[in-house]
């Protein structure tokens, strides 16, 4: 039985049991080409939806129940500038197109399973997502999005806890400034292991190991394919009030295996980072929580010592539960990150973000966000001499709005949006982008709260909703 037939049969059974007739008809009425595209995706990604849907066949211990979740979603996106062209960029006219805007149709299937093995604290969590994106104007950008994660969580008494994880994700390249307009897909994979040894009720030792890989399809981006190995260890203190403090160090080695001799001469082929960090979470009251991360990063390159640098990574966040229905978040950050541009070594961003989430009723939820950010793009020294500049500064302002409305049990209507403006100081140029998504989502779970436990929302890539607290 192929994937299309399996999905329709499963939904028909769910529809008969729970009365979700509307959604059953919506899926049954989808174009055959859309469903066949999902079927082809499943054949090329055995780690993803097939692994998740087959999880229900595994036998759990008699004392526990395997938790299952299924989500089907369809949406329409209006994007004023998907390739993020700067104002007046002549490259915006492509293949006879005179507008930078586009509309995107999406169809997604997300599923997951939580399978207890020895106890509720020792379990296997499998999740996955398959999706299609179809562009109305820039049809060359049509693509499939895939993601899958597996996590084995374990506990040995009250002394030892940990987990082993593996995941993959394929996504469309995140366009920056209109300099690249061809379709490129990024392929990211990560494996990791975490272990926490409890010394006393107040002290524990968390240890982490991870390995990640990223590669792109287009030759022009191959110089940013990387492998990274990381190791982290810390000492964590828990106070009787629920607050905690962690001190630790993280080491990572990053290697770029596909750079040619000229690229190695400009950017080097590998570097090593050492980050000494402090993380804290202070529960001031039942309504107020403050968390922070402060890291001092020492980066050393393999050959080009003039690229060596010391960086600071800072994030301070406060969450205030004004009432059971209203939650407010504020974040202040000063953090470095990489960017896919051969002339830019790294980017440092400083900014302030504000979020509000209002549960107006049991069926209606609003969220608002505002962001003001300054970034400083540190240029590669040799190229900076040619351009007579050592950095490139930009200012970003963003505002977002979203609403979720539950039509009936398991069916919700969603709206997600943002508008942003970027201004570049050097040449007084800038870009503008506005995105609005309207979607319909059907969710099934055999136990209440299973979807949230599995974290299926991470596959939706919300435009403006704030992340949950750690």
What mean pLDDT, rounded, does the chain reach? 84
Task: Tally Cβ neighbours within 10 Å of residue 303.
Answer: 11
Residue 57 has a pLDDT of 42
| 3-class DSSP assignment, residue 8 | helix
Alpha-carbon distances, residue 326 vs 26, 304, 358, 399, 414 (angstroms): 33, 51, 5, 19, 19
DSSP 415-458: EEEEEEEEEETTTS-EEEEEEEEEEEEEEEESSTTHHHHHTGGG
**What are the structure tokens assigned to 414, written together?**
């969603």
Alpha-carbon distances, residue 384 vs 1, 270, 389, 422 (angstroms): 59, 21, 5, 22
Closest Cα partner for 344 from 273, 255, 252, 267? 267
386: left (phi over 0), alpha (psi -120 to 50) or beta: alpha
DSSP 56: G
Residue 465 has a pLDDT of 67
Beta bridge pairs of residue 125:
114, 151
Residue 93 has a pLDDT of 54
Do the Cβ atoms of 77 and 436 come closer than 8 Å?
A: yes
CA distance 441 to 458: 15
pLDDT, tens digit, for every residue of 432-450? 999 999 999 999 999 998 9
**What are the structure tokens assigned to 128, written together?**
């996955």
Torsion angles phi and psi, residue 424, rounded to 5: -100, 125
CA distance 357 to 349: 25
Residue 207 has a pLDDT of 98
Residue 13 has a pLDDT of 43
Chain CA centroid to CA 181, Å: 22
Torsion angles phi and psi, residue 366, rounded to 5: -110, 150
Q: Is the dihedral of CA 371, 374, 379, 385 positive or negative?
A: positive
HSE (CB half, 13 Å, CA atoms) of 231? Answer: 3
Placement of tokens 């529809």 in the chain:
15
pLDDT, tens digit, for every residue of 399-429? 999 999 999 999 999 999 999 999 987 666 7
Do the Cβ atoms of 152 and 127 come closer than 8 Å?
A: no
**What are the structure tokens assigned to 254, written together?**
């990053």
Closest Cα partner for 193 from 166, 228, 169? 166
pLDDT along the chain (470 residues), means of 10: 43 38 33 39 43 44 80 96 81 62 96 90 95 94 96 92 97 87 95 96 96 96 95 96 95 95 91 97 94 96 91 96 95 90 86 95 94 89 60 89 94 96 79 95 93 89 64
Torsion angles phi and psi, residue 223, rounded to 5: -65, -15
Residue 298 has a pLDDT of 96
**What are the structure tokens assigned to 249, written together?**
């160090």
């Amino acid at each position: 039985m192929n994937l299309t037939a399996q999905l329709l049969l499963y939904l028909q059974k769910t529809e008969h049991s729970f009365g979700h007739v509307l959604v059953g008809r919506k899926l049954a009425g989808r174009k055959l080409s859309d469903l066949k595209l999902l079927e082809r995706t499943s054949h090329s990604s055995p780690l993803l939806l097939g692994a998740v849907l087959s999880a229900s066949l595994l036998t759990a211990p008699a004392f526990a129940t395997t938790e299952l979740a299924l989500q089907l979603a369809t949406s329409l996106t209006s994007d004023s500038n998907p390739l993020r062209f700067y104002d007046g960029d002549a490259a915006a006219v492509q293949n006879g197109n005179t507008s930078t805007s586009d509309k995107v149709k999406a169809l997604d299937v997300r599923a997951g399973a939580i399978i207890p093995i020895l106890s509720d604290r020792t379990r296997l969590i499998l999740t996955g997502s398959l999706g299609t994106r179809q562009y109305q104007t820039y049809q060359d950008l049509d693509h499939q999005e895939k993601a899958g994660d597996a996590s084995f969580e374990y506990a040995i008494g009250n002394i030892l806890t940990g987990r082993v994880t593996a995941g993959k994700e394929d996504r469309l390249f995140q366009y920056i400034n209109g300099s690249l307009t061809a379709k490129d897909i990024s392929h990211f994979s990560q494996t990791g292991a975490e272990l926490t040894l409890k010394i006393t009720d107040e002290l524990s030792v968390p240890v982490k190991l991870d390995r990640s890989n990223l590669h792109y399809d287009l030759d022009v981006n191959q110089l940013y394919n990387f492998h990274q190995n990381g190791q982290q260890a810390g000492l964590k203190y828990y106070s009787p009030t629920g607050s905690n403090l962690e001190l630790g160090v993280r080491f990572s080695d990053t290697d770029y295996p596909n750079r040619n001799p000229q690229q190695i001469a400009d950017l080097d082929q590998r570097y090593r980072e050492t980050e000494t960090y402090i993380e804290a979470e202070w529960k001031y009251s039942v309504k107020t929580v403050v968390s922070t991360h402060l890291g001092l990063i020492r980066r050393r390159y393999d050959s080009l010592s003039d690229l060596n640098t010391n960086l600071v990574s800072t994030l301070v966040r406060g969450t205030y539960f004004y009432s059971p229905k209203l939650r407010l978040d504020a974040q202040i950050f000063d953090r470095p990150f990489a960017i896919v541009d051969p002339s830019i070594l790294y980017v440092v961003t400083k900014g302030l973000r504000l979020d509000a989430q209002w549960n107006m009723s049991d069926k209606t939820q609003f969220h608002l966000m505002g962001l003001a950010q300054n970034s400083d793009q540190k240029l590669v020294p040799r190229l900076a001499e040619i351009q007579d500049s050592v950095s490139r500064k930009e200012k970003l302002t963003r505002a977002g709005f979203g609403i979720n409305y539950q039509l009936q049990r398991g069916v919700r209507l969603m709206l997600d949006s943002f508008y942003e403006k970027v201004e570049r100081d050097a040449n007084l140029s800038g870009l503008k982008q506005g995105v609005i998504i309207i979607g319909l989502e059907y969710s099934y779970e055999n136990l209440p709260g299973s979807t949230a436990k599995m974290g299926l929302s991470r596959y939706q890539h919300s435009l403006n909703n704030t992340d949950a607290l750690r």
